Structure 1
């Protein structure tokens, strides 16, 4: 099987190399916005196309909603238009997720990353409704995050195929290790699929993946 990324292939809207960014804190536990700005500038200068803020790598379960917005604003002010900013907004609560998505939009994010609802292991129709509600409410592109080993909930391929019909659902961060499912998505939808596990980067890219979130 040959790659679908010839040298002339256009770069996906969010780029190819995206970094899941840590969130710096001061010794007292406060958000270190100056440190976050310096880190973001460094990552962009080193070649990152996009930065993923407020993901689990960035301590999102332990930061407040206000801190999440402050972080996006500080990084946006620093990097300007040099990189795309993807804000993690996923929770197990649809209402809270939509509130975070709207706040990220207001703070200057370019897209939002929404993980599958976790712990309660909802059925696929509820998973689909969760994502559609966020995409209907927020005006930003939505990146779906499929990481069943952490959430306990798989976003099934057929669910992803239906969600791909929504005009604002544009990408998937894939940690499912289901390469056949990814190939099906790439063949039948316009979704950009990003590897979310480093050891999967090459295999996913070889079948047409957009890049990685590392």
Structure 2
């Protein structure tokens, strides 16, 4: 089974003149391989997968998987392979089962699956949906509870029922319910990963396993240092690191994700500041503030 502890980065998808910029994507993966992050998420919400056709999604995943493996050249010989978690979304169980079957042969750490969006099924339908996907998956399943996007939340009883499935191992917790977060941590069967970046500190302090944090695209080493300080019981150090990261986290979500993070990475030369409709670039005012942030903080 995979270990989903630590800091995971849900990768953006860089674009150049409307096409996926695979060179920039590969460079990002290689950059993050040297930072101590636990792994990467491909085709998560931050990666704009809804704007990618099936062939583009497959190509993005192939680039990430290839770049995440240890390289054979002398410079990178000591680089460890980075685990890759893959986002799978949809509201048609049969179609998602087909996608799971496509992913089964690949060397991935697991699949990240949100509740069916828009249809807002009953909780027993959610249990049946996730159970069917977990039954079909050769890899561990990470639940993604994000009701603000799907229109339906995973109730605690539903989560505890799903926790009994042998392949459902973790949860990306974006529901904003402290009661649920604490109940899952106390239950102990699911690794609880903060999905709201401002909750990284409180989740890890409460005994959670880490975070899937979009804002960690920038200064990932500091997020890793935060996680290590907290898990080593160095609360004062962890508090100082977290407080320093708060402005960055707030900027990252001041406008719809991933526009702010793309603007910040573009200001520092990592990617072009491009998104696909209906997503649009960060406003000029926020872009200016992000550029200033990029100039004042170490890369």
TM-score, scaled relative to structure 2: 0.65
Q: 1:41 aligns with which of 30, 46, 50?
A: 30
Q: Which residue matches 2:114?
A: 115
Give the Å deviation of 1:109. Answer: 1.9
In structure 2, C-alpha distance between the alignment counterparts of 1:14 and 1:205, rounded to whole Å: 13
Q: Which runs of 5+ in 2 are unaligned?
A: 70-79, 214-299
Q: Does 1:56 align with 2:55?
A: no
In structure 1, C-alpha distance between the alignment counterparts of 2:103 and 2:206, rounded to whole Å: 32
In structure 2, C-alpha distance between the alignment counterparts of 1:92 and 1:195, rounded to whole Å: 24
In structure 2, C-alpha distance between the alignment counterparts of 1:134 and 1:121, rounded to whole Å: 17
In structure 2, C-alpha distance between the alignment counterparts of 1:196 and 1:116, rounded to whole Å: 15
Q: Which residue matches 1:22?
A: 12
Greater Cα radius of gyration, structure 1 or 2: 2
In structure 2, C-alpha distance between the alignment counterparts of 1:126 and 1:33, rounded to whole Å: 38
Question: Secondary structure, in 3 states, of the residue corresponding to 1:112?
Answer: strand
Give the Å deviation of 1:188. Answer: 2.0
Contact 1:132/1:163 (8 A) holds in 2: yes
Question: 1:126-148 CA distances to partner (integer Å, 9 max, x unpaired)?
Answer: 11111111101111000000011
In structure 1, C-alpha distance between the alignment counterparts of 2:183 and 2:204, rounded to whole Å: 14
Question: Secondary structure, in 3 states, of the residue corresponding to 1:106?
Answer: coil
Question: 1:39-87 CA distances to partner (integer Å, 9 max, x unpaired)?
Answer: 1111121222110010111011111222222222211111215211000
Q: Which residue matches 1:67?
A: 56
Q: 2:21 aligns with which of 23, 32, 36?
A: 32
Contact 2:10/2:47 (8 A) holds in 1: yes
TM-score, scaled relative to structure 1: 0.89
Return the structure number with greater helix share.
2
Contact 2:4/2:209 (8 A) holds in 1: no
In structure 1, C-alpha distance between the alignment counterparts of 2:152 and 2:130, rounded to whole Å: 13
Contact 1:69/1:107 (8 A) holds in 2: no
In structure 1, C-alpha distance between the alignment counterparts of 2:21 and 2:9, rounded to whole Å: 19
- Which is further off, 185-194 or 163-172? 185-194
In structure 2, C-alpha distance between the alignment counterparts of 1:35 and 1:101, rounded to whole Å: 27
Question: 1:85-133 CA distances to partner (integer Å, 9 max, x unpaired)?
Answer: 0000121111222222232333432110001111111100011111111
Task: Give the number of equivalent residue pairs.
Answer: 202
Give the Å deviation of 1:181. Answer: 1.2
Q: Which residue matches 1:128?
A: 127
Contact 1:69/1:103 (8 A) holds in 2: no
